[in-house]
Structure 1
Amino acid sequence: MAKSGPIIIIEDDPDDHEMIERILLKLNVENPIKKFMDGESALQYLQSTSDDPFVIICDINMPIMNGLQLKESIDTDKRLRVKSIPFVFLSTTANPQQVKQAYHYSVQGFFLKGQSYEALKNSLHQIVSYWQHCVHPNNLT
């Protein structure tokens, strides 16, 4: 995790993409934002970039490659696993089976988008603030 690295948003709903980006800008987050509509395109980016992402914020229910499949693919890719990129789910639902499976893959959080703009803003603030203050193996100098 690089504190100045990009925030990776993986979300198949264009309206949610826009709202998440707008909230991050209102929160004065200076990290670049990279957006993807599915796990497969995000995985291709992660496997081909030299960027060290700050955090991955991922929806769980998406076409092509869902969030759980993406997290499993990251965990089985030696180069990506070593990067130790913080990975959190941000979803409209918290199906108990999916939550258990997410933590089986060692995600660092599972957040609900909430039913309002303020709820989503609060969740994003908590996610970003936590990782901005967290000491992480990849940001020790």
Structure 2
Amino acid sequence: MNKQLSILFIEDDLVETMKIHRIIDKLGLNHHIHEAKNGEQALNYLNNNNDLPDIILLDLNMPKINGIEFLKILKNDEVMKYIPTVILTTSHNRKDILECYNIGIAGYIIKPLKYEDYVSKIDTLLSYWSMNELIKA
């Protein structure tokens, strides 16, 4: 049986945030989503919360601390580096993809234009991580 996930969703676009909530509701999933609008807010959440998320869904293009800057900080932390981080972005830029994998991401998903395709990708992503053996550092 798949377990409930604690997800840190880092996204500055309100429409995308509403979309992820709508998808999770549509799929009937019981995951708990914590939101951050940028890398700075996400780091504040992670540093001031005893319960770290099971997984992070991260957009790359954000103000203040962007996704790649956030990843570098996250993966240099001895505790937080174990949190699986999946990029969820519109960037097809090969340089971004290579840099993210080099830093240590768990996956890179390009947001599809069609809502049905987005639902399918999120369903597959969350199904995989909810049955995966996750480390709680």
TM (norm. structure 2) is 0.91
2:120, 2:91 → 1: CA distance?
Answer: 17
**1:71 matched to which residue of 2?**
71
1:63, 1:120 → 2: CA distance?
Answer: 24
Tell whether the 8 Å contact from 2:7 to 2:54 is kept in structure 1 after alignment.
yes
Deviation at 1:64, TM superposition (A): 0.5
Tell whether the 8 Å contact from 1:57 to 1:88 is kept in structure 2 after alignment.
yes
Deviation at 1:27, TM superposition (A): 1.6
TM (norm. structure 1) is 0.89
The one-letter amino acid paired with 1:132 is: S
**2:27 matched to which residue of 1?**
27
Q: What do residues 27-47 of structure 1 show as CA deviations (whole Å, max 9, x unaligned)?
A: 222121111110110011011
**2:130 matched to which residue of 1?**
132
Gap regions ≥5 residues in structure 1: none
Tell whether the 8 Å contact from 1:5 to 1:51 is kept in structure 2 after alignment.
no
Residue 29 of structure 1 aligns to a residue whose secondary structure is coil
**1:91 matched to which residue of 2?**
89
Calculate percent identity across the aligned residue pairs.
31
Tell whether the 8 Å contact from 2:89 to 2:109 is kept in structure 1 after alignment.
yes
CA-based RMSD: 1.6
Gap regions ≥5 residues in structure 2: none
Tell whether the 8 Å contact from 1:5 to 1:52 is kept in structure 2 after alignment.
no
